Amino acid sequence: MNDTTAGLLQAGVLVAALALCYRPLGSYLTRVLTSERDLRVERAMYRVVGVDPRSDQRWQTYAASLLAFSGVGVLALYALQRTQSHLPLSLGFGNVDPALAFNTAVSFVTNTNWQAYSGESTMGHVVQMSGLAVQNFISAAVGICVAVALIRGFVRSRTDRLGNFWVDLVRIIVRVLLPLSVLAAIALILMGAVQNFSGGEHLTTLAGQHQTITGGPVASQEAIKELGTNGGGFYNANSAHPFENPTPLSNILEIFLLLLIPVALTRTFGEMVEDKRQGYAVLAVMTTLWASLVVAVTTFEVHHSGTALQAAGAAMEGKETRFGEWSSALFAVSTTGTSTGAVNSFHSSYTGLGGGALLFNMGLGEVAPGGTGSGLYGILVLAIMAVFVAGLMVGRTPEYLRKKITAREIKLVSLYILAMPMIVLTGTGIAMAFPGPRSSMLNHGPHGLSEVLYAFMSAANNNGSAFAGLSANTSFFNVALGIAMLLGRFVPMVLVLALGGAFARQQRIPETPGTLPTHGPLFVGLLTGVTIIVAGLTFFPVLALGPFAEGL
């Protein structure tokens, strides 16, 4: 079987598996998020926290609960890292440096999972399990909470309530993320992923050198890492490491896991607004963008333009031979389109145009299909902008899902769209302006700019993947990227919750012959165009100076 046939086959299997799970998982999520029934374990958790599960919160209270809970998570994870040497199963590792501990704590709480360290030589088992893995569950659930709150804003009328953050959080973790993660972890173990509490095996290499290979609870962390679009890795090589991603079959499973919930949430959206066609339209936009970028990146890598790559016969630098170009490109597009920092190849080693396409994918706001929850609320914000643009064209008051889009809503949408680019471009500009940060670049010229731009794009979009040439474990980058992660995560979330609150206060209006249909091919094309143009106009100049200049 040649590479092309194998690549097309694995892409087809992936799409078929997602299609098979789309309806049952999406409908199950709807039942979880709309049910009036609480499980016994959930009621016990509510009593511990002191929450009345039947009480709804205003958007301000919902946002305050989310921010306070996330703030406590940052402090707790920071404390675990700073006291690591005193914890059991520390494997002899010392306490994590303050700047790196801050960066890592922020990274995992914000669903970014940016890692400026080698996991197998820095973090003990307790920190990995009780700190990093726990936040993988929580941060994924928080993103879904915000998306659901926005959907309730469309559904409800003349109210200032968007639900209860604590109820949404507990239900998503207990009923969705935990059971799916257990199944995924078992599957990964059966495929060869490591799951133990080993302190490491001491081996003698073929060259006569001694090496320690660290074990640990890898499969369980790998499962939620992908399922929650978290990213990061137990090992520095991430999902290119055979202990995390043993075979081509496990590679397809991991791609499937990171796409599963973002795709299924579009079904949940359609059912909650009582019009499944709306969910199909959003899914069509996500699929169009994802498939287009898969084709583009695969083409750039397979055709390996460039003298050195043509002489070698393949653009295989930085790619695992177990996976090859097709699987690497498929993983890379999926991970940069879902706010997942997991990688099975080094993106810095991609061709100039291939790496530029990955940067552009993140620049879209990671809505193809986006992270758990964040992808859905991101594309819904862009849908509101698309309806507004269409309304300007025909001179009508824009409406979306039977809610009017007034000046208040469009201001919130505009702030949301501008927040991420402002964080990315400001951080990149500061880093490139001073010699200290520039010294962290392995390469200079266009590729060096791409390294720094990718770092801040990854941080502000809460992605977590990186161009490998940047030495980011410095005081400047640990602090600067930590700030970018915090702003990139919570500023858009607060704006989305405010938008949900604004819509919830409105009364739903009847559709008229002049209402723009938001479920047909015309709107799918309009929303796709708005998504591309918003990112293109914002990031094209800096992409032209970096990866596009290198590729051309």
Tens digit of each residue's pLDDT (9 = 90 or more) over 329-364: 999 999 999 989 899 988 888 888 888 899 899 999
Q: pTM to 2 decimals?
A: 0.94
Residue 311 has pLDDT above 60, yes or no: no
Band (pLDDT 50/70/90 cuts) for residue 313 is low
Average pLDDT estimate for 490-504:
97
Instruction: Give the mean pLDDT of the chain.
Output: 90
The reported pLDDT for the residue numbered 304 is: 65
Task: Provide the Cα torsion 142, 148, 149, 150; round to 10°.
Answer: 120
3-class DSSP assignment, residue 15: helix
Tens digit of each residue's pLDDT (9 = 90 or more) over 253-273: 999 999 999 999 999 999 999
The reported pLDDT for the residue numbered 472 is: 83
Residue 535 has pLDDT above 80, yes or no: no
Band (pLDDT 50/70/90 cuts) for residue 307 is low
Tens digit of each residue's pLDDT (9 = 90 or more) over 437-488: 888 877 777 888 888 998 999 999 999 888 877 888 899 999 999 999 999 9
For residue 529, which amino acid is it? Answer: G
Would you list the DSSP string of 175-200? IIIHHHHHHHHHHHHHHT---S----
Tens digit of each residue's pLDDT (9 = 90 or more) over 389-432: 988 887 777 899 999 999 999 999 999 999 999 999 999 999 99
What is the phi/psi pair of residue 147, to 5°? Answer: -60, -45
What is the phi/psi pair of residue 175, to 5°? Answer: -95, -20
The reported pLDDT for the residue numbered 219 is: 94
Distances (CA, A) of 112 to 115, 439, 460, 461, 524: 9, 24, 9, 8, 29
As to burial, measured by CB atoms within 10 angstroms (0-12 exposed, 13-18 middle, 19+ buried), residue 126 is: middle
Residue 198 has pLDDT above 90, yes or no: no
Distance CA 297, CA 294 (A): 5
Would you list the DSSP string of 337-403? TTT----SB-GGGS-HHHHHHHHHHHHTTSTTTTSTTHHHHHHHHHHHHHHHHHHHHHT---EETTE
- Residue 441: DSSP 8-state: B
Residue 546 has pLDDT above 80, yes or no: no
Judged by average pLDDT, the poorest of 123-132, 238-247, 464-473 is 464-473
Domain residue ranges in the chain: 372-551
The answer to whether 465 touches 458, Cβ cutoff 8 Å, is yes
61: which residues sit within 8 A by CB, 6+ positions away? 165
Peptide bond into 446 cis (omega under 30): no
- Residue 470: DSSP 8-state: B
- Residue 519: DSSP 8-state: S
Distance CA 180, CA 496 (A): 27
Count how many Cα atoms sit within 13 Å of the Cα of residue 187 in the half-sphere of its side chain: 19
Helix (DSSP H) and strand (DSSP E) numbers for the chain: 21, 4
The reported pLDDT for the residue numbered 1 is: 57
Band (pLDDT 50/70/90 cuts) for residue 308 is low
The reported pLDDT for the residue numbered 27 is: 97
Nearest of 287, 262, 43 to residue 171 by alpha carbon:
43
The answer to whether 143 touches 372, Cβ cutoff 8 Å, is yes
The reported pLDDT for the residue numbered 519 is: 92
The reported pLDDT for the residue numbered 200 is: 74
Distances (CA, A) of 80 to 11, 76, 180, 219, 236: 40, 6, 27, 22, 20
The reported pLDDT for the residue numbered 370 is: 93
The reported pLDDT for the residue numbered 305 is: 61
Distances (CA, A) of 104 to 134, 219, 370: 13, 21, 22
Distance CA 414, CA 392 (A): 15
Residue 249 has pLDDT above 80, yes or no: yes
The reported pLDDT for the residue numbered 229 is: 94
As to burial, measured by CB atoms within 10 angstroms (0-12 exposed, 13-18 middle, 19+ buried), residue 531 is: buried
Average pLDDT estimate for 489-506:
97
Distance CA 21, CA 420 (A): 32
